């Protein structure tokens, strides 16, 4: 059981360390070209994914995020499958990483900027990546991996 909370803690620490590196290295709004398709940027996102609900305010989004974290913890404890628990642990670590930013800054620090052919994916961070990977793997498992029928 503790393994899954350790996974979450690792995500939180990686997210925090990467954001601290950006905060200490770049100025807000600054862009550093790394490759022809990838930049480091320093932006604050007051909303959730793609800046949705940015008008909701940090308090409402923080409370909602904490509720989601509690819901994920419930399912980590309830779930018996280790792979599903690992996916949930990635999601939990990412959610907590972004909650920490909301508590510190009232917004989330985003810094990974991918682009191609004049199109930019909205900037994101390690926490967002962990959430997306956890969700995608969980959907994959639920869709394509057959579970043994209960006897």
Q: Which residues are marked as active site?
A: 110, 128
CB 113 within 8 A of CB 40: yes
Task: Name residue 31's beta-bridge partners.
Answer: 41
Task: Name residue 33's beta-bridge partners.
Answer: 39
Task: Name residue 94's beta-bridge partners.
Answer: none
- Rounded Cα gap, residues 108 and 138, in angstroms: 24
């Amino acid at each position: 059981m503790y393994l899954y909370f350790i996974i979450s803690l690792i995500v939180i620490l990686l997210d925090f360390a990467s954001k601290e590196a950006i905060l200490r290295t770049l100025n807000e709004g600054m862009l550093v070209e790394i490759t022809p398709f990838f930049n480091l940027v320093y932006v604050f996102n007051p909303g959730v994914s793609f800046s949705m609900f940015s008008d909701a305010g940090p308090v409402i989004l923080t409370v909602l995020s904490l509720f989601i974290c509690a819901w994920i913890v419930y399912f980590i404890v309830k779930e018996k499958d280790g792979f599903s628990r690992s996916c949930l642990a990635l999601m939990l670590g990412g959610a907590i990483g972004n909650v920490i930013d909301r508590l510190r800054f009232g917004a989330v620090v985003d810094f990974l900027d991918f682009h191609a052919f004049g199109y930019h994916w909205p900037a994101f961070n390690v926490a967002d990546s962990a959430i997306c990977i956890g969700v995608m793997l969980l959907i994959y498992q639920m869709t394509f991996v057959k579970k043994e029928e209960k006897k």
